[in-house]
């Protein structure tokens, strides 16, 4: 099951949305003005997601902000209608992004943590606090996507926040995929170890219709693969980005954990 967010951690996630969102906006403005060190612009491809340009990434995130805000404000656990995630405008993209971020932050601050809120994962608590967590990690990863596009060094995520991002992916996000291949046939155990904090997760994947995911803490017992790295690198790796990590054992088992 998803880790329940206590109030102090929820507030840290909301603050991360503010900080990561502002950093993302500054980078987008530099790309729009052509002042990025690499000479990249909003029309430059994201290096590790070449089907996206920076413009696509800004539009995607601004749309996600509006979608998440609708979910928070709706106060129900039923899925939002498609029109709550609008297409980006042809003009004024950066202003649209800033407006969406401000509305999201206001909603995260105003909506009670235990207010009902739909979530795409069956393992989530389906309360508003889940969305503070989801948006903090969404922004952190995409901010690094935009840094890579701008040709600037990646700014590490605070180790505790990055650890929480790893925990969210393993305990909440993975459950979204258990009804799809390769999870329905997967039979593997993988240990994930954060060198920054010493925290570890043991992930047991079992076949079925749907498959199952069981997460335990600690580092005991045999496993098929071990993934180790700093917290930010683990977050990048698990979301399918390049990262400085060490993988021992069966690489195919470790690959099962990576974001789609």
| Orientation angle between helical segments 129-150 and 231-238, nearest 10 degrees | 90
Burial class from Cβ neighbours inside 10 Å (0-12, 13-18, 19+) for residue 185 reads exposed
What integer is the mean pLDDT of 8-22? 97
User: What are the E-state strand segments in 72-224?
Assistant: 188-194, 200-206, 212-217
State which H helix or E strand residue 51 sits in: strand 49-53
**CA dihedral in degrees (30, 32, 34, 35; nearest 10)?**
-10
Residues 181-214 have pLDDT tens digits of: 888 899 999 999 999 999 999 999 999 988 899 9
For 78, half-sphere exposure in the C-beta direction (CA atoms, 13 angstrom radius) is 3
Query: 94-126 as b/e, with b when 16 or more CB fall inside 10 Å?
Result: bebbbebbebbbebbeebebebbbbbebebbbb
Confidence of residue 234 (pLDDT cuts 50, 70, 90): very high
Q: What is the pLDDT of residue 83?
A: 87
- What is the pTM (predicted TM-score) of this model? 0.95
Three-state SS for 16?
helix
The percentage of the chain sitting over the pLDDT mark of 70, rounded to a whole number, equals 98
Comparing 23 with 6, the larger pLDDT belongs to: 23
Q: Which of 144, 131, 199, 139 is nearest to 170 (CA)?
A: 199
Average pLDDT value for the chain: 94
| pLDDT value at 260 more than 80 | no
pLDDT for res 178: 86
The pLDDT tens digits for 147-165 are 999 999 999 999 999 999 9
Domains in the chain, start-ordered, CATH in brackets?
Answer: 7-150 (1.20.120.450), 159-255 (3.30.1050.10)
pLDDT at position 1 is 42
Band (82; pLDDT cuts 50, 70, 90) = confident
Judging by DSSP bridges, how do beta strands 188-194 and 225-229 pair with one another? parallel
pLDDT of residue 3 exceeding 60:
no
């Amino acid at each position: 099951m998803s880790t329940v967010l206590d109030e102090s951690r929820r507030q840290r996630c909301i603050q991360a949305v503010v900080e990561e969102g502002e950093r993302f906006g500054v980078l987008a403005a530099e790309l729009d003005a052509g002042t990025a060190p690499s000479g990249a612009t909003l029309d430059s491809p994201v290096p590790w997601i070449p089907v996206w340009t920076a413009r696509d990434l800004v539009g995607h995130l601004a749309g996600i902000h509006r979608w998440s805000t609708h979910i928070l404000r709706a106060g129900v656990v039923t899925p939002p209608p498609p029109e709550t995630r609008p297409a980006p405008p042809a003009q004024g993209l950066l202003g649209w992004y800033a407006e969406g971020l401000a509305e999201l932050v206001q909603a995260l601050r105003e909506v009670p943590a235990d207010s009902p809120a739909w979530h795409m994962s069956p393992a989530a608590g389906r309360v508003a606090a889940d969305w503070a967590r989801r948006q903090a990690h969404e922004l952190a990863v995409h901010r690094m996507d935009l840094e890579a596009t701008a040709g600037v060094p990646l700014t590490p995520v605070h180790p505790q926040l990055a650890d929480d991002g790893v925990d969210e992916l393993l305990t909440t996000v993975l459950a979204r995929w258990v009804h799809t291949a390769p999870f329905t046939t997967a039979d593997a155990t993988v240990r994930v170890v954060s060198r920054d904090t010493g925290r570890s997760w043991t992930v047991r994947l079992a076949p079925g219709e749907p498959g199952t995911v069981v997460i335990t803490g600690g580092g005991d017992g045999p496993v098929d693969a071990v993934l180790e790295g700093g917290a930010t690198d683990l977050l990048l790796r698990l979301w399918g980005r390049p990262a400085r990590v060490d993988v021992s054992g069966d690489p195919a088992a470790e690959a099962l954990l990576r974001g789609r």
